[in-house]
Amino acid sequence: MQKSTDLKAVFLYGLTIFLSAFLLFQVQPMMGKMILPWFGGSASVWTTCMLFFQALLLLGYLYTHWVVNHLSPLRQSLLHMALLAVCVFLLPITPSEVWKPTGGENPTVRILGLLSASIGLPYLVLSTTGPLVQAWFARERSGAVTYRLFALSNFGSMLALLAYPFVVEPLLPTRWQSLAWSGLFILFVLACGSLAWRGRHAKPLADETQAFEHQTENKASSTLQAGQLLLWVALAACPSILMVADTSYLTQNIAPIPLLWIAPLALYLLTFILCFERQGWYQRRIFLPLMILSLSALAYLPMLGLSDLPLLLAMGINLAAFFVVCMVCHGELALQQPPTKHLTLYYLMLSVGGFLGGFFVGVIAPYAFDGHYELSVAVILSGMVVSLSLWRAWPTIAHGLRRPIFAVGSAVALVALTTVSVNDHIQEAAGVEMKGRNFYGSLRVFAFPNDGYRSMLHGQIVHGKQFLAPERAMEPTTYYNADAGAGLAITAQMAKGPVRVGVIGLGVGTLAAYGRQGDTYRIYEIDPLVIAMAKNNFSFLSKTLAPTELVLGDARLQLEAEAPQQFDVLVVDAFSGDSVPVHLLTREAFEQYARHLKPNGVMAVHITNRFLDLQPVIQTAAQNLGFTARLIEHPGDDARLIYSSSWALLAKDPKWFEQIALKAAKTLDTQTGFVPWTDDYSSLFAVVK
């Protein structure tokens, strides 16, 4: 009977921790998806959300450390049950539209405020669960299994991470996602509340050393020194910085593949699971030599000439190296598990490290750096911190090697890593006329006198090119030549007289080259840095004959607030390479575009993409509007700086496509069973090539 009761208790503890971790990692992408359309679809929105969640996780761990060490079990139970009850009255979670931005202001503070008001308290309560429930579990029994619950927590997190894009997002609109999440949260409240009630008369967390203490390297310490706490923080911060920095590096310099951000985060969580499930997974004799190779690979990979490496090989090297570094940092943390009496402090320091890593990447780096240097910082910092960890543990791992030799070897390796990284950034800056970075990313302008052109890049994505020769400066280049989609739409309308053209996405201002006296161009751009570079480094805007109106802010929000603009042509081209701002492709977005068109107006939507087939998205949106949609494909022409492109043209009148230049237009592909994209539902998984 007692054994059955014990099994039920263990199950309840495990269920509570698993549910809390699952809900934590489900609400992150869900809330990000809900608010992403309001802030331009930028990847930095995800980074800011991550920063918020890490900050709340830190507050949750701080709360746990305080209540466990300063409140009696009864008061702990009553306080936590009260917080659980309050959270139920805040369901379901829905962001309020009062937080929508109104212009081009920096959105970081607004995003943080929105998340605080929408999900703050429920997320805070969820974030307390891991260390708090482990502390309650330790009051009932001792043993290494207490820390194995942390592995279970990370397993729940990884399962939620994988389930969202492949199961939840394709099947449920966001309103149903919110309701399903709220239902699971109520189940969590019942489970956690039961544990709180169960432990109300328990004894305070025991001070005696736990049975597993002989496995740790700091077993003799009854009090923790500041150096040990700082080491825990640093070992947790390094993988946190590396995860976000490497995700950015992968998407900007190797392949901007949709959903690629899942891979680093999944590997990050997997290393937590392996290192804390049991200590045997992390073996220094295996992983330390691999870490030397991995740090070298991460530092030297940019100099290998990524364009010359097969895509899968470049990604494989990067992700394998990332996994090894995270495994070492988290393995060192697992080897330094303290006695259970320090459990909440230990997790608090891990949370501080995670938050500091996210704060550095999300807040400091975009404004302190003019380029993406975080990966180099993470590589060098990881090498330093692991070296310090080994230095402290030296008596147990020396194996005859003297400490001074280790110190010299570590110093030489770190100097080599730093030299390689600095040289890479020096080469990266060669030929740069102007560069800058803000919330929306980093941009660089290059001049190539020998090739006769200037270009703007975001990572590896070209935002536009212009010939340097004055006689060719106003030739439309890249995707905007006269026989590609947007050029065809504009020139066809120009044949009828003066035109009013709307453009979503400025780039370098190439489309302004079509402007004549009597025409008007109204261009929407969310990134002020793009506007500055287009004005200062390119001449399309200054030399066009048409009056040009630049509107700063997210185009979708600006169009919603404006009276009908009566565009003859509306060009939708706000995509950063293969990254798709979904909110510009939903049914509601196209309804706004149609509202701003003249009755005989036409839309041109840029759908060139290596990884996504956006034709079903456009076709279903056109059918909803009663428009006819056609595909214009162009093979490109290197001599004229023309890229191959795919454009979808949408017109109310099917006869519009009977013009000579448009007769070669094709019918868009359809997809059986494709669910139209709306503000409430979209799935990138459904359109992956």
CATH number at residue 102: 1.20.1250.20
Q: Is residue 251 part of a domain?
A: yes
What is the secondary structure of 363-394 as a DSSP string?
IIHHHH-SS--HHHHHHHHHHHHHHHHHHHTH
Q: Is residue 549 part of a domain?
A: yes
Q: Do 412 and 486 reside in the same domain of the chain?
A: no
**CB-based contact 479:565 (threshold 8 Å):** no
Backbone angles phi, psi at 481, to 5 degrees: -65, 165
- Judge whether residue 531 has pLDDT over 50: yes
Backbone angles phi, psi at 479, to 5 degrees: -95, 5
CATH number at residue 635: 3.40.50.150
Extract the tokens encoding 421: 């990284």
- Judge whether residue 507 has pLDDT over 80: yes
Extract the tokens encoding 626: 């009663």
> Considering only CA atoms, which of 174, 60, 61 is closest in space to residue 123?
60
Rounded Cα distance between 149 and 15, Å, is 10
State the residue range of the domain holding 108. Answer: 1-206
- Judge whether residue 69 has pLDDT over 90: no
How many Å is the Cα radius of gyration of the chain?
A: 28
Query: What value does the mean pLDDT take over residues 648-662?
Result: 88
Extract the tokens encoding 372: 């993406």
pLDDT tens-digit profile of 133-152?
A: 888 888 776 554 567 778 88
Q: Do 108 and 178 reside in the same domain of the chain?
A: yes
Q: Dihedral, CA atoms, 21, 27, 28, 30, nearest 10 degrees?
A: 150
- Token pair 């076709």 is found at 619
Q: Do 182 and 68 reside in the same domain of the chain?
A: yes
> Considering only CA atoms, which of 236, 237, 72 is closest in space to residue 150?
236
Q: Is residue 670 part of a domain?
A: yes
For residue 276, the SS3 value is helix
Q: Do 311 and 247 reside in the same domain of the chain?
A: yes
**CB-based contact 463:447 (threshold 8 Å):** no
Q: Residue 461 to residues 9, 157, 510, 613: CA-CA distances in angstroms?
A: 54, 32, 16, 19
Q: Do 47 and 191 reside in the same domain of the chain?
A: yes
Q: Is residue 440 part of a domain?
A: no
| Cα 219 versus chain centre, distance | 39
Using pLDDT thresholds of 50, 70 and 90, give the confidence band for residue 329: very high
How are the residues of the chain apportioned to helix, strand and coil, as percentages rounded to the nearest 5?
60, 10, 25
pLDDT tens-digit profile of 549-577?
A: 999 988 888 898 899 999 999 999 976 55
Q: Do 535 and 672 reside in the same domain of the chain?
A: yes
Name, of 270-279, 441-450, 613-622, the range with top average pLDDT.
Answer: 613-622
Residue 259, Ramachandran bin (φ over 0: left; ψ between -120 and 50: alpha; else beta): left
Q: Cis omega (within 30 of 0) on the bond before 676?
A: no
- Judge whether residue 327 has pLDDT over 80: yes
What is the secondary structure of 201-247 as a DSSP string?
TPPPPP-SPPGGGGGSTTTT-SS--HHHHHHHHHHHHHHHHHHHHHH
User: Exposed, middle or buried, 526 (CB in 10 Å: 0-12/13-18/19+)?
Assistant: buried
- DSSP label of 164: I
Backbone angles phi, psi at 359, to 5 degrees: -65, -40
> How big is the CA angle at 198 (ends 197 and 199), to the nearest 5 degrees?
90
Q: Is residue 468 part of a domain?
A: no
Q: Do 390 and 491 reside in the same domain of the chain?
A: no
Rounded Cα distance between 590 and 559, Å, is 11
Query: What value does the mean pLDDT take over residues 587-598?
Result: 95
DSSP β-ladder status, 567-572 and 597-606:
parallel
For residue 162, the SS3 value is helix
Choose between 50 and 282: higher pLDDT: 282
Q: Residue 77 to residues 24, 140, 207: CA-CA distances in angstroms?
A: 22, 15, 20
- Judge whether residue 422 has pLDDT over 70: yes
Query: What value does the mean pLDDT take over residues 250-263?
Result: 69
Last residue of one domain, picked from the residues 430, 447, 463? 430
Q: Do 89 and 129 reside in the same domain of the chain?
A: yes
Rounded Cα distance between 437 and 44, Å, is 12
Q: What's the farthest any 2 CA atoms get from each other in the chain? A: 91
Q: Is residue 462 part of a domain?
A: no
Query: What value does the mean pLDDT take over residues 302-314?
Result: 66
- DSSP label of 125: H
Helix (H) or strand (E) holding 268: helix 262-277
pLDDT at position 144, please?
44
Question: What sign does the CA torsion over 631, 634, 635, 636 have?
Answer: negative
- Judge whether residue 41 has pLDDT over 80: no
pLDDT at position 291, please?
93
pLDDT at position 567, please?
97
pLDDT at position 305, please?
52
Choose between 184 and 262: higher pLDDT: 184
Q: Which residues contact 157 (CB under 8 A, 6 or more apart)?
A: 21, 22, 24, 25, 269
Can you give the pTM of this predicted structure?
A: 0.82
pLDDT tens-digit profile of 70-110?
A: 888 899 999 999 999 999 999 988 888 788 776 656 677 88
Q: Do 33 and 178 reside in the same domain of the chain?
A: yes
Using pLDDT thresholds of 50, 70 and 90, give the confidence band for residue 307: low
Q: What would the 3-class secondary structure string for 459-493 be?
A: CCEEEEEEECCHHHCCCCCECCCCCCHHHHHHHHH
Rounded Cα distance between 179 and 174, Å, is 9
Query: What value does the mean pLDDT take over residues 635-663?
Result: 90
Q: Which residues contact 20 (CB under 8 A, 6 or more apart)?
A: 126, 127, 129, 130, 133, 153, 156, 188, 192
CATH number at residue 227: 1.20.1250
Q: Do 130 and 228 reside in the same domain of the chain?
A: no
Last residue of one domain, picked from the residues 206, 238, 258? 206
pLDDT at position 625, please?
94
Rounded Cα distance between 486 and 489, Å, is 5
Last residue of one domain, picked from the residues 181, 206, 231? 206
pLDDT at position 205, please?
57
**CB-based contact 170:681 (threshold 8 Å):** no
Rounded Cα distance between 148 and 137, Å, is 12
Q: Percent of the chain beyond pLDDT 90? A: 44
pLDDT tens-digit profile of 191-211?
A: 999 999 987 777 765 543 343
What is the secondary structure of 561-599 as a DSSP string?
HSPP--EEEEEE---BTTB--GGGSSHHHHHHHHHTEEE
**CB-based contact 248:374 (threshold 8 Å):** yes
Q: Is residue 572 part of a domain?
A: yes
pLDDT tens-digit profile of 271-283?
A: 988 888 777 788 8
Domain count, the chain: 3
- Judge whether residue 238 has pLDDT over 80: yes
Choose between 304 and 228: higher pLDDT: 228
> Considering only CA atoms, which of 641, 583, 633 is closest in space to residue 607?
633
**CB-based contact 317:305 (threshold 8 Å):** no
Name, of 110-119, 465-474, 671-680, the range with top average pLDDT.
Answer: 465-474
- DSSP label of 659: S
Rounded Cα distance between 626 and 617, Å, is 14
Using pLDDT thresholds of 50, 70 and 90, give the confidence band for residue 218: very low
Backbone angles phi, psi at 96, to 5 degrees: -80, 140
User: Exposed, middle or buried, 159 (CB in 10 Å: 0-12/13-18/19+)?
Assistant: middle
Q: Is residue 458 part of a domain?
A: no
pLDDT at position 210, please?
42
Query: What value does the mean pLDDT take over residues 116-129?
Result: 92
Using pLDDT thresholds of 50, 70 and 90, give the confidence band for residue 456: very high
Q: Do 368 and 233 reside in the same domain of the chain?
A: yes
pLDDT at position 455, please?
95
Average pLDDT score, the chain: 85
**CB-based contact 155:276 (threshold 8 Å):** no
Q: Do 36 and 174 reside in the same domain of the chain?
A: yes
